[in-house]
Amino acid sequence: MNYSRRNSYWQLLCLVLVISGTIAGAARSEEVGDRWGTEEREREYYPIVNIPLPKDTVIEAGAFAVLPDRRFAVGTRHGEIFFIDGIDAAKPNPSFHRFASGLDEIFGLTWQDNAFRVTQSCELTRVSDSNRDGVADRFETVSDAWGYANYHEYAFGSKLDAEGNQFVALGLSESYYSHALNRGFIMKVAHDGKTTAFASGLRSPGGIGFDEHRALFYVESQGPWNCSCSLKAVAPNSFHGHPASFNWYKYAPELGPVPETPKSGTRIASERKRISELTPYAVIFPYIRMGRSITAFSVNQTQGKFGPFENQLFLGDYTLSIVMRATTEQVNGVWQGACYPFREGLSTGILNVEFTPGGKLLCGGTNRGWPVRGIKPFALERLEWSGKLPFEINRITIEPDGFKVTFTKPVDLTTGSSPDSYAISSFTHPYHGGYGGPEVDQQKPRVKLVSLAEDGLSARVVLEKLDQGFVYEFDLFKLRSRDKDELLHRHAYYTVNEIPSR
C-alpha cells in the first residue's frame, strides 16, 4: 500500500473511531452527566483569544520556547522556527519572523548557549545564527542515535534539566512496531551530545517534560498496553509497558537486562509486582471523558497571572481540541495524581501548549492526519485568565483512608459536610496488548466521613476502602460555594498506585 492510500485508509478508520467513540461517550454522558458542555461558563473565566497569523503562512505549532530575553518562539510540523513579537498584547496582532526552515516536524524546542536545540523526527539539531543577521545559518547534529523511516516515528524533546541534559521520547514504527533503531526508547542526550538509552516500553508519546517537582514525565497515547491516555513518570532504566522495543536492549547495556514480558489480560497492579522495571501510569485520563489523544504539557508557574492553579500541569488533547489540568504527588516512592477538565472549544487539534512571558497559555496545533473536533486546519490561540475566580476542584491528594480535596473558593457548610455530596466510584482497565480497552471492576466505595476545613477550602473524605491500581472518579455536582456557585467542572479522576501509611 503506498503512503497516500495508506494515509487515506487511516484517516477513514480514525473518522469511524471518532464517530463511534463520540456515540459511546454520549451514551455514557447520559448515565453520569456531561463532563464538559460548559464552554459558555468557561469563557467567563478563561476566554480564548485568536492569534492572527501571517497571510499564506501555515503554522502547525509542534513546540514552543521562551528565551531568556523573553522572546517567544514556535517550531512547526513544516520544520520552520518563527519568532513572535507581541504575543501578550491585549489585542494581539503580532509580527512573525521566520528564523529557520528545512527541518522536519519539530516536537521539541529549547534554547541553550545562543542556539536552539531542536528535536525533529530524525535527530536533535543545534540551530544558530552565526553572522547575527536574524536568520539561522548553522545546523549541527547534536544526536542522531535513533532510526527514522516511517511517517509515524515521531520524536519529542524535553527542556533541559539542571545538568543540561535533554530527553527524547521516540514513538514506535507505525505506532505498533519497532523497526528502526531505539524506537520505543527514551534517550538521554547530554550537553556534549553523548546519548544513552534511559527508558523503554513507549508506544506513541505525545510530549515529554518536567512537572512542578522537576520530575520527568511523558505523555502516552491510548493503544496497545494502554487502555487510556496517561501521564507516566520516567526513572532511569524504567519500562513503560510496550515490549516492542526489547530488541534494542542488546545495543543499550546501560538499561540492564531485558525486563520480563508483560502478561496480556492481567492488571497493571499485579504485573508491576512481577516486573520490577515496570512503571505504572501516574495519571490515567479516562477515555473520551478526558481526551482521546493527549499531547504535550506545560507547568503553570506564572505566580498567579493564570489564576488559582499555580504549579499544575496543563495538557492539550489533539482529537477533542481541549485543554486539561493535572497534578502529581509521590507516595511510597511512586508517582501518581489526578486530572481535571479545564477548557474546551479550541479551534484545532492541540499539539502543544506553553505559558507566555505575560502568563497566558498559548495553544497551537493542526488537524493534519487525523480528524479533530476543532474546525480550523491549524491555529494559534491564547487562553488568559479574566481575573474572575471560578469555583473549582483545585487539587486532590491521597490520604491513608481516602482523599483530601481542595477548592478554589470556600465550600458552604451544608453541602461541604455531607457525605451525600461526594459521589465517588472507581474502576481499572485490563492490562493487555490489544488496542485500548474497557473500564472494568467498577466499584462504588461508601463515603464514611467528610471533614470540611473551617475555612471551607478543603475537605477530607474518608472511604470504606481504597484499592491500588484503580482510578477514583469524583462527581461533586451537589457542592456549592459559600456564595452559592456551582462547580465549573464537577468531575476529577485520581489514579491510585500507592496508599500512604497512617
Domains and CATH numbers, the chain: 33-53+64-259+283-383 (2.120.10.30), 393-496 (2.60.40.1220)
| The pLDDT value given to residue 33 | 36
Helix (H, G, I), strand (E, B) or coil at 246: helix
Q: Which residues of the chain have pLDDT under 50?
A: 1-33
| The pLDDT value given to residue 14 | 42
Tens of pLDDT, residue by residue over 379-430, are: 999 999 999 999 999 999 999 999 999 999 999 999 999 999 999 999 999 9
The helix, strand and coil proportions of the chain, stated in percent and rounded to the nearest 5, come to 15, 40, 50
| The pLDDT value given to residue 244 | 97
146-167 exposure pattern, b = at least 16 Cβ within 10 A, e = fewer:
bbbebebbbbbbbbbeeeebbb
Kindly compute the dihedral angle of the four CA atoms of residues 154, 155, 159, 162, in this order, to the nearest 10 degrees.
150
Tens of pLDDT, residue by residue over 158-203, are: 999 999 999 999 999 988 999 999 999 999 999 999 999 999 999 9
Is 438 within 8 Å of 227 (Cβ atoms)?
yes
Residues 460 and 449: their CA atoms lie apart, in Å, by 8
- 89's grid cell: 498584547
| The pLDDT value given to residue 74 | 98
**Cα 193 to the chain's mean position, in Å?**
27
Beta-bridged to residue 428, according to DSSP, are 440
| The pLDDT value given to residue 480 | 98
Helix (H, G, I), strand (E, B) or coil at 269: helix
Residues 255 and 97: their CA atoms lie apart, in Å, by 42
Residues 435 and 162: their CA atoms lie apart, in Å, by 37
Give just the sign of the alpha carbon dihedral 318, 491, 395, 361: positive
Look at the block and give the residue holding cell 485568565: 385
Q: Where are the alpha helices (DSSP H) in 33-162?
A: 39-45
| The pLDDT value given to residue 37 | 65
Q: What is the pTM of this model?
A: 0.92
| The pLDDT value given to residue 209 | 98
Beta-bridged to residue 350, according to DSSP, are 365
